[in-house]
Amino acid sequence: MGSHSSVRFPNETSSYRSAREELLEAEMELRRKIEDVAALRRRLPVGGRVPEDYEFDETVADAGGRERARPVRLSELFAPGQDTLLIYSYMYGPAMPSPCTSCTSILDGLDGTTPHVRQRVSFAIVARSPIERVRQVARERRWHNLRLLSSSRNSYNHDYHGETEDGHQMPMLNVFVKHDGAIHHSYGTELLFAPTEPGQDGRHVDMIWPLWNLFDLTPEGRGTSWYPQLTYDAEPFHGLKRSRE
């Protein structure tokens, strides 16, 4: 097999290079397939019109920095000049003593990405818990950029599969678009609900979750028993420690 890469690493063996070139072929095929699937997603017909202009709760800070709750409708989540809205359903229901550790890991990463995302599309996070509980998590995690909403007063989570019939919370990403003067559903990560495949389940939102993609690059892989936690070594997760000065 001819080489596809001029890259060589110190002291690598010929067996390593041969295996790496075979892997490179597979990676190139995967890259093409990812774009093929993305193109299929872009060609989806417009989805169903949303049944109502859902009213959520969010908080805003007053001049003194104190937070107060206010209602906001789905239609108001679209920033001026933007016709696409992404909403992630955060698994944090009113009966849950703490939020989902995996969802929280996703949002830890998305908080930093959000300012970039908002340059092109609108983006929000919706949890079923009252907004005060959601904001408390945000303060503990030091989230500063995510637009956090509560759906405690509406059926959004149920209607768009972020909640089961018995109230169990589900990790779902939905995309909405403005079309002909109305808001329509465009896409949802319903791979979560597809027929099960051994070793493949639970990967429906890998595209927005860099944690597992990093582990996939390692010899150990993502593993089958480790999952992210809210705290490590008995200390709250705050990223890098910040100076108090």
pLDDT, tens digit only, all 245 positions of the chain: 445 789 999 999 999 999 999 999 999 999 999 999 999 999 999 999 999 999 999 998 888 878 899 999 999 999 999 999 999 999 999 999 999 999 999 999 999 999 999 999 999 999 999 999 999 999 999 999 999 999 999 999 999 999 999 999 999 999 999 999 999 999 999 988 988 888 776 778 888 888 888 988 999 988 878 889 998 876 555 544 443 33
Q: Which residue has the tokens 């405690």?
A: 152
Distance of CA 4 to the CA centre of its chain: 34
Task: Output the six-digit token pair for 207.
Answer: 């595209």
Decide: 75 and 65 in contact? Cβ < 8 Å.
no
Q: What is the pTM of this model?
A: 0.89
Beta-ladder partners of 85: 122, 176
